Amino acid sequence: MANTAAVPKSFRVELLNGIHAFGTSVVRAGTGADTFKMALYLATATINADTTAYTGTGELAATGNYTAGGVTLTNATAPANTGGTGIVAFWTPSAAATWTALTSSGSFDCALIYNSTQSNKAVGVFTFGAQSVTAGNFTINMPTNDLTTGLIRIS
Amino acid sequence: MLVETNKGLIERNDLTVKDVIYDEDNARVVATEWFFNNELVRRDVNVNILRGLDLAGDAEKFN
């Protein structure tokens, strides 16, 4: 036998599940999954890696069937590390994010996923080119939930 | 069939429909544009995220 330096495969999934707290931890209200939301941002906004939490600045105006804060993501599938060597942990919302009968207040190109249970802390920023929607539906379809395309992956 | 537009319900046969499909960095966008008398009266957009975000760490090299 030989020893091998490694980050345990299980650790990555546990990070996604909030098992470890290396710093001062938050007090969790329960053992259920947090609520994650997705908000849309105008092309003129500044949402990027420095974004720490949801902000209303630069968000689509709450008109034309858009509600400030966006929509709640469906989260029916727990993080996993199945497939491949098990090194990659991944999580993907289990349904598309959809706005119906939307008329966007301007050109938008960005979606922010944030944790509304934990002080609206930012989780991920996604861009998709400038869009406008007129009296129509806007849908963000999620990628396949696996180790190569899952929406949030730790490898 | 009637279609909801920014001018209210319009008969489907009175509308011209155009699909616009293109790729962004990490997404495939499918926009459906509805025109009435050459005026855009409805636009639907589907964004298909092709690949999510990868928080790759240096530890990968140990595996």
Domains identified in chain B, total number:
1
CA angle, residues B5, B9, B14, in degrees to nearest 5? 85
**If you measure CA to CA, which chain B residue comes closest to A12?**
B55
Q: Is residue A110 part of a domain?
A: yes
**If you measure CA to CA, which chain B residue comes closest to A140?**
B47
Q: Is residue B61 part of a domain?
A: no
Q: Quick: pLDDT tens for A113-145.
A: 999 999 999 999 999 999 999 999 999 999 999
Measure A135 CA to nearest chain B CA, in Å.
5
Q: Is residue B55 part of a domain?
A: no
Query: Is residue B14 within 8 angstroms of chain A, CB to CB?
Result: no
Q: Is residue B20 part of a domain?
A: yes
Nearest to A141 among B4, B32, B47 (CB): B47
Q: Name the residue range of residue A129's domain.
A: 34-154
Q: Is residue B60 part of a domain?
A: no
Contact B30, B48 (CB under 8 A): yes
B60 pLDDT higher than 70 = no
Domains identified in chain A, total number:
1
Q: What confidence score (pLDDT) does residue B58 get?
A: 43
Q: Quick: pLDDT tens for A18-76.
A: 888 888 877 777 889 999 999 999 999 999 999 999 999 999 999 999 999 999 999 99
Question: How much is the ipTM here?
Answer: 0.89
Q: Is residue A86 part of a domain?
A: yes
Residue B16: both structure tokens together? 């011209």
Q: Is residue A147 part of a domain?
A: yes
CA angle, residues A116, B47, A41, in degrees to nearest 5? 45
pTM of the model: 0.91
**If you measure CA to CA, which chain A residue comes closest to B56?**
A155
B59 pLDDT higher than 50 = no
Q: Is residue B30 part of a domain?
A: yes
Q: How many CB atoms are located within 10 Å of the residue B58 CB?
A: 7
Which residues in chain A have Cβ-Cβ distances shorter than 8 Å to B22? 129
Q: Is residue B62 part of a domain?
A: no
B63 pLDDT higher than 70 = no
Q: Name the residue range of residue B38's domain.
A: 2-50
Which residues in chain A have Cβ-Cβ distances shorter than 8 Å to B40? 134
